[in-house]
Amino acid sequence: MPRAPVIAYIGLGSNLQDPVRQLRIARQAIIALSGVREIAFSSLYRSAPMGPAEQPDYINAVMAAETSLSPHGLLKSLQAIERSHGRVRTGLRWGPRTLDLDILLYGEERIADEQLTVPHAGMTEREFVLYPLAEIAPSGLEIPGRGILNDLVAACPRRGLEVIDHV
């Protein structure tokens, strides 16, 4: 049975192998998925690494997409893009990565299983997620179980986060 389309928000992040290029290529790959239609794409943001400090700065962005894929179907597609774009990860927890694609929100759903946690676990404390999200989402958006986007942004310091480009 085809599903009614929902709005999903996808977080993109990279700090290796030309991160701006990684995000541009990833964006095109997501747009090319069948069952996914881009609605909005934030500016690109540069932020200091959360986690071990001895790694390059990150470039992050958020996409709003309408999708008819299931949450796990979308996850599989995003993981395939991560792999096909040569994702490199050191074994280090919170270490550098070529490409990270996270489902931040999937409509109003709350999901918690072995594969997927939605809303994304760390998103409400991460400036590099909340600010790009707020750029493209309605300010009154409810993050299920966490509160209203505007309030979460107001409570989150920018920590040097800067916009680097408009795409």
Task: Point out the residues that are catalytic.
Answer: 87, 97, 100, 102
Residues ≥6 apart with Cβ < 8 Å to 83? none
In terms of Cα–Cα distance, which of 92, 94, 90, 87 is closest to 17?
87
Residue 45 binds ligand ROI (CB under 6 A): no
Which is nearest to 61 in space by CA: 128, 117, 159, 118? 128
Residues whose CB is less than 8 angstroms from the CB of residue 30 and which lie 6 or more positions away in sequence, other chains included: 10, 36, 38, 63, 65, 78, 81, 101
Q: Give the footprint of ligand ROI on residues 118-157 (CB under 6 A).
A: 128
Is there binding between residue 76 and ligand ROI (CB under 6 A)? no
Query: Where does this chain touch ligand ROI (CB under 6 A) — which range of 41-49, 61-69, 80-88, 140-148?
Result: 41-49
- Minimum Å gap between C-beta 142 and ligand ROI is 23
Beta carbon of residue 39, minimum distance to ligand ROI (angstroms, whole number): 21
What residue ranges bind ligand ROI (CB under 6 A)? 13, 47-51, 58, 60, 94, 100, 128
